[in-house]
Chain A
C-alpha cells in the first residue's frame, strides 16, 4: 500500500466524517461550523487532485464566504427567536435512509463505470492545451474561463448580480444594523484589522496578477477582497447603510461589463479574438470582475444595499 493511497483514504475518511457531522445533531451552529471545516477539507482534496484553482476558490468561496453568509443568517434567526439554535426533530425514517443508500450506490456505480469506460481524454481539454501557447497564458483554467468559455463566465457574473438583487428584494428591513462587535476599542483588534486588511488586499492583487500563469484569478482574488470586507463589517469599521450610492452600484456591475465587453468586442469587430485578448485586456476584465465579486459578496453579508464608514 503506497503513501498516495493512504493519503487519499485518510482525506476521504475526513471528508465523509465531516459530512456526517454536518447533517447530524440538532445544533444548527455546530452544523454550520462543520460545514466550513468540510469546505476546507475539500480544498485539500482539490489540491491533491491537482486542481489548485479549485482549491483556492473552494476554500475562499465554498468554505469561507458560504460559512460567513450562513453564520450571518443564523445570527439573524437567533436575534428574532433564540429557540432557532436547536432545530426541532428531523423526520427520520427507514425510507429516507434507504433512498440515500440507494442513491449513493447508484452514484458510485455511475462514477466507476464512467471511469472504466472512457477511452480517451476529453477532446475539449486537449484542444485547450493545444490552443494555450498562442494566447501567451500559462494557466489553462484562466484561458477556458475568460476566452474559450467566456460566455459561461459572463452568465455566472450575471447570476451573482441577480442573486444580489434577489437578496435585496427579500431583505429583512426589520433588522436594524448595529455594529456587531461592541468592543472594537480593543487595541489588539484594531491593530490586527489594520494589518490584515491591507495584507488581504495585497494577496488579492497578487492572486489576480498570478492567475494568468499560475493558479489564481479573478474569483479567488474577489473572494479574498470580500473576506476583508467581512472583517471590516464584523469589527464595525464598515457599517451597513440603508441606501446605496450609484458609485457602489457601478462597482457591482463592473464585473459583468468587463467580461461582457471581453466576450462581445471580438464578436462585433470581426478581428480575430486573440488580437483583443492580450494579457492586458484579460487582466483589465479580471480586475473589474474582482472588484464586483468583492463588493457583491460583502454587501450580501451585510444584508444591506450600501455601506458607510463606521469609524466616524
Chain B
C-alpha cells in the first residue's frame, strides 16, 4: 500500500473538483464538483494518519463515515432546493454577478451584491 500515490490522487481530484466548481453555472454541476472535493478530502483523512500496528486507525474512519452521511444529507437537501429554485426562476443557475464561486465570465455591471 503506497499512501503517497493516494495523496497525489486526492490532490488531483481536489483540483479537478475545484475547477469544476469555479467554472460551472448550473447548480447541479456545482454539487457534483463539491462532492468530488469532499471525496478527495476524505481520502486524505484516511491516508495521511499512520496505521496502528498494521491496522488502520479507526478514528478517522468513523469521522469520514460521519462526513459521508452529512454530505449525503446536505446534497439531498441542496438538490431539492435546486429544483424549487428552478421552478421559481426558470433556470437552475445562480446569476453570475451574485455567484460567489464563479471565477470566469462575470459580466462587468455596477450592480452591488444583494441589491436586487
Flag if B28 contacts A111 (CB, 8 Å): no
- Decide: B11 and A104 in contact? CB cutoff 8 A: yes
B46 touches A58 (CB 8 A): no
CA distance A170 to B19 in the complex (A): 29
Q: Please tell me which stretch of A118-126, A235-243, A265-273 contacts chain B, meaning at least 4 of its Cβ atoms lie within 8 angstroms of it.
A: A118-126
Closest CB in chain B relative to A290 CB, distance in Å:
13
Q: Is A8 an interface residue (CB 8 A)?
A: yes
Number of A-B contacts (CB under 8 A): 298
B26 at the binding interface (Cβ < 8 Å): yes
Known A-B contacts A19-B36, A38-B39, A70-B28; the reply to A48 vs B1 at CB < 8 A is yes
Tell me, yes or no, whether A45 is within 8 Å of chain B by CB. yes
Judging by beta carbons under 8 Å apart, are A144 and B62 in contact?
yes
Residues in chain B near residue A164, CB distance under 8 A: 73, 76
Q: Is the CB of A4 within 8 A of B25?
A: no
A22 contacts chain B at the CB level, 8 A cutoff? yes
The answer on a CB contact under 8 Å between A12 and B71 is: no
Q: Do A22 and B20 form a contact, CB below 8 Å, given A88-B25, A121-B57, A156-B66?
A: yes
Interface of A, secondary structure class, is helix
Q: Is the CB of A54 within 8 A of B46?
A: yes
A16 at the interface (CB under 8 A from B): yes
CA distance A23 to B66 in the complex (A): 26
Q: How far is the CA of A50 from the CA of B6 in the complex (A)?
A: 13
Contacts of B43 in A (CB 8 A): 42, 45
User: Across the interface, do A20 and B69 meet the contact criterion of CB distance under 8 Å?
Assistant: no
Docked CA distance A120–B23 (Å): 41
Tell me whether A16 and B69 are in contact in the complex, defined as CB-CB below 8 angstroms, given that A49-B47, A129-B52 are known contacts: no
Interface-located stretch among A27-35, A177-185, A195-203, A246-254: A27-35
Chain B contacts for A160, CB-based, 8 A: 69, 73
Chain A 282-312 near chain B by CB (<8 Å), digits 1 or 0:
0000000000000001001001000000000
Report the Cα distance A174→B87, complex, angstroms.
9
For chain B, the count of residues having a C-beta within 8 Å of the partner chain is 84
Chain B residues near A107 (CB, 8 Å)?
A: 10-11, 14-15, 40, 44
Say whether B46 contacts A16, CB under 8 Å: no
Q: What CA separation (Å) do A156 and B81 show in the bound complex?
A: 20
Closest Cβ of chain A: how far from B80's Cβ, in Å?
A: 4
Residue contact A31 to B32, C-beta cutoff 8 Å: yes
The CA-CA distance from A97 to B20 in the complex, in Å, is 9
Given known pairs A54-B65, A170-B80, the reply for A62 and B6 (CB within 8 Å) is no
CB distance from A100 to the nearest CB of B (A): 4
Most buried by A among B28, B53, B79, B87: B79
Q: Which residue from B17, B25, B46, B106 sits with its C-beta under 8 Å from A46?
A: B46
- Cα-based distance from A162 to B11 in the complex (angstroms): 31
Q: Does A73 contact B (CB under 8 A)?
A: yes
- When distances are taken between beta carbons in the complex, the residues of chain A under 8 Å from B28 are 28, 32, 70, 73-74, 77, 87
A62 & B39 in contact (Cβ 8 Å cutoff): yes
Q: List 6 A-B contacts (CB under 8 A).
A: A38-B39, A61-B72, A62-B39, A125-B60, A172-B84, A219-B69
**CB-CB nearest 4 A-B residue pairs:** A91-B104, A104-B15, A23-B20, A100-B19
